Structure 1
Amino acid sequence: MPQPNQIGYAAMSVCQIFSFRKKELLFFSVNSYGLNGMGLQSIELYYQMPKELINEATYICVLNACSHSGLVNEALSIFKTIEIETQRIYTTIIDCLSRALFFEEAQKLMEEFERLHIPALPMYPSATVLLANVDGSSGHIDKASDIKTQLYQSDTKKRIGLAWTVTNRQVYQFRAHDRSHPRSHEIKAELEKIANELIDHGHVFDAILCGHSEKIAIAWNFVVNPHTSKIQVTKNLRVCGDCHRATKLIAAIRQCEIIVSDANRIHHFYTNGQCSCNDYF
């Protein structure tokens, strides 16, 4: 059964899980606020938690909430109070700094982690890519290229983009550039129709007819119900910039609220063409 934070309703978190134990309730709420871009509420709740209930997962949730709300100073303040700074905690605070374009500070933390953890622990693929992007943005092009080359030569595999949506009480799964659905020709036609509408409204694609899984899932919803007023999609990867801009416009053109839960947060795309993340993702 989907949890409230998974389907995009942060307000449900407290009122529907009152029977949880205190630790589970507080942790769930901190995480739920963060996923829905309510960073200040997440921080406020974090500071109300008894110290004995706070663990690595709690730190990661509140730092992630800061990361997706641009609350860099708040994140650094919390980070300085953490006694045991694990690799996952370092990765989260570095993500926060990088999103806010504090690349030099992010680089310093990476170097600090490497000094304190010799030999360095293997980085998560996302953290490795983040490191390369920080180096590239800081002008260290050769270093960034070396890191990406090492990643590609390793056994690390990039996950395939998957998206799930429910229509007529049935769950459908789509992958990037999916053509396996029995009605794929209708989905393709809908994607082309959507693309033309986007172009007419001034959208410029990063790639020709980007075939990411969430776009296919959205198109399928319109195939099944052309006049739907709400679409919900869950995705296993972070939504890309092109899909984010396109989905905002789709919601406005079709006057359909679209909720996309990606690997990092929950995006509410409203019919006025805005997203709950305020384009900070």
Structure 2
Amino acid sequence: MRVRGIQKEPGRSQIEVNGVVHTFISEDKSHPAIGKIHLTVKKLVLLMKAAGYVPNHQSMLVDGEEIGNHSEKLAIAFGLLSTPHGTPIHIIKNLRVCDDCHQVTKFISKIVERVVVVRDANRFHHFMDGVCSCGDYW
């Protein structure tokens, strides 16, 4: 791919809040609320680890680079910050959700008691109370 100059499309997640579409890219630092978003992600990771979450490091490494802050994690954190408790969070992702993000979203849905719907390149995932509608077939 490098020899031919081919680049893969970066993972991108979108969430609409108050009529405005917010787009996140892996390791994104351009959003005006990125400091609060990263703080929310860190808090969620602590809560998830206390609940039994173990990161899947195999799916977090791409080309030797750690990508722990995938776009959907940033979008979900922004949704938690920007919407009232109990409101479902709807994310649209241009690529398939990785195994770790799928696991993380299940934990988040249980911990924060919110429904999270993610439309990835293959299907809709409806996360509620720690379970995904795809039956982990994702």
Taking structure 2 as the reference length, the TM-score comes to 0.87
Percent same amino acid at aligned positions? 38
The answer on 1:233 being equivalent to 2:91 is yes
Indicate the SS of the match to 1:166: strand
Aligned residue runs from structure 1 range 202-221, under 5 A: 202-207=52-57, 210-221=68-79
Task: Tell me which stretches of 4 or more aligned residues in structure 1 moved more than 3 Å.
Answer: none
* 2:113 maps to which of 232, 255, 259: 255
Which whole-Å deviations, capped at 9, do the CAs of 1:217-237 have from their partners, x for residues lacking one?
Answer: 000011113624310000011
Greater Rg over alpha carbons, structure:
1
For residue 193 of structure 1, what is the aligned residue in structure 2? 43
Per-residue Cα deviation, 1:134-168 (whole angstroms, up to 9, x for no partner): xxxxxxxxxxxxxxxxx443332111111100112
Q: In the alignment, which of 128, 134, 138 is matched to residue 277 of structure 1? A: 134
CA 228–179 in structure 1, closer or farther in 2 if over 3 Å, else same: farther
Count of residue correspondences: 130
Q: What secondary structure does 1:188 align onto?
A: helix
Q: Are 1:156 and 2:6 an aligned pair?
A: yes
Q: Which amino acid aligns with 1:260?
A: V
User: Pairwise CA RMSD of aligned residues?
Assistant: 1.6
Q: Which secondary structure does the structure 2 equivalent of 1:173 belong to?
A: strand
Deviation at 1:209, TM superposition (A): 7.4
- Written as runs of structure 1 = structure 2, the 5 A alignment for 1:10-25 is none
Which of 224, 246, 249 aligns to 2:104? It is 246
1:175 to 25, 32, 40: 25
1:265 equivalenced with 2:89 (yes/no) = no
Check conservation: 2:27, 2:67, Cα contact below 8 A: no
| 2:132 match: secondary structure | coil
What's the secondary structure of 2:52's corresponding residue?
coil
Structure 2 CA distance, aligned partners of 1:226 and 1:186? Answer: 16
Checking the alignment, whether the CA contact within 8 Å between 1:192 and 1:209 is kept in structure 2 is: no
SS in 1 for 2:131: coil
User: Looking at both structures, which has the greater relative contact order when contacts are Cα pairs under 8 Å and sequence separation is at least 6?
Assistant: 2
Q: Any stretches of 5+ residues in structure 2 without a counterpart?
A: 58-65
Higher strand share: 2
For 2:118, the aligned partner's letter is V
The 8 Å contact of residues 163 and 214 in structure 1, kept in 2 or not, is answered as yes
Q: Could you tell me how far apart the structure 2 residues matched to 1:265 and 1:152 are?
A: 30
Instruction: Return the TM-score normalized by structure 1.
Output: 0.44
